[in-house]
Structures are given as C-alpha cells and as structure tokens.
C-alpha cells in the first residue's frame, strides 16, 4: 500500500510548514489527488489518520479534491477530458495525447491554529 508512504510524506510537509510558520496545530488539510494519480482517496484517509497521530496534524480533517484527467490531443489540438490514462481522444479518436491534468498529489491548503 503506497498510500501509507504518501501519507507519511504529507505529514512531513505539514511538519515543515509548521516549523516555518510557527503554528501548533492543523485543523484541515486540503489535498488534490488527481483521478489519474493511482492513489486511492479512502486509503489516504485511513493512512493519514494513522501516521498523523502525535504530530501537529493529529485530528485534522482531510479534504480531498479529485481533479479529473485531462490531456492535450496532438492530432486535433484540443484539451480534452480523459477518464483513463490510455483512453483515446473523445473528439477525434487519436492516441497521441499529452497528460495535462489528473496526476496531481499535492497539499493545496492548510487551515491552522
């Protein structure tokens, strides 16, 4: 389960921000977890709860945004929605796509005390 390692990384980012910003506790963590990121949001919720115990993030509410997959299609020159990584362009059927969204995994915002 790579979500455990990812959750540890999220808590480490929070620790670094707490040290830099001088805050003692985090109320809410807003994450972006792209639809094509291969990260399971429910697993992140579970793992974050476990790894944040005893840290400034203990008890924080985790809010997860799921940006959809998007790709730029080289044949038709459009940015199109993408449900799966290797789907064809929904407009022209082409397969020469460059991912431009949906792979994110980032801490977007912290609500702190």
pLDDT of 30-88, one tens digit each? 999 999 999 999 999 999 999 999 999 999 999 999 999 999 999 999 999 999 999 99
Please give the C-alpha separations between residue 44 and each of 10, 48, 74, 87, 88, in angstroms, as whole numbers: 10, 6, 34, 26, 29
pLDDT at 97 over 80: yes
pTM given for the model? 0.84
Q: Half-sphere exposure (CA, 13 Å, Cβ side) for 98? A: 9
Residue 83, pLDDT score: 94
Query: What's the total number of domains in the chain?
Result: 1
pLDDT at 1: 59
Q: Check residue 61 and give its pLDDT.
A: 96
Q: Give the phi and the psi of residue 98 in degrees, each rounded to 5.
A: -115, 120
Q: Can you tell me the distance from the alpha carbon of 24 to that of 112, in angstroms, rounded to the nearest whole number?
A: 8
Range of the domain at 92: 2-112
Q: Are strands 70-73 and 78-81 parallel, antiparallel or unpaired?
A: antiparallel
User: For residue 99, what is the domain's CATH number?
Assistant: 3.30.2320.80
Gap between the Cα atoms of 74 and 81, Å rounded:
14
């Amino acid at each position: 389960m790579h979500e455990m390692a990812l959750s540890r990384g999220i808590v480490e980012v929070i620790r670094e921000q707490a040290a830099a910003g001088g805050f003692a506790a985090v109320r809410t963590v807003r994450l972006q977890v792209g639809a094509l990121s291969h990260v399971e949001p429910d697993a992140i919720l579970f793992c974050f709860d476990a790894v944040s115990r005893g840290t400034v993030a203990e008890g924080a509410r985790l809010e997860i945004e799921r940006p959809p997959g998007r790709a730029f299609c080289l044949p038709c020159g459009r940015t199109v929605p993408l449900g799966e990584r290797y789907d064809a362009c929904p407009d022209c059927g082409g397969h020469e796509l460059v991912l431009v969204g949906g792979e994110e995994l980032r801490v977007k915002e912290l609500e702190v005390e």
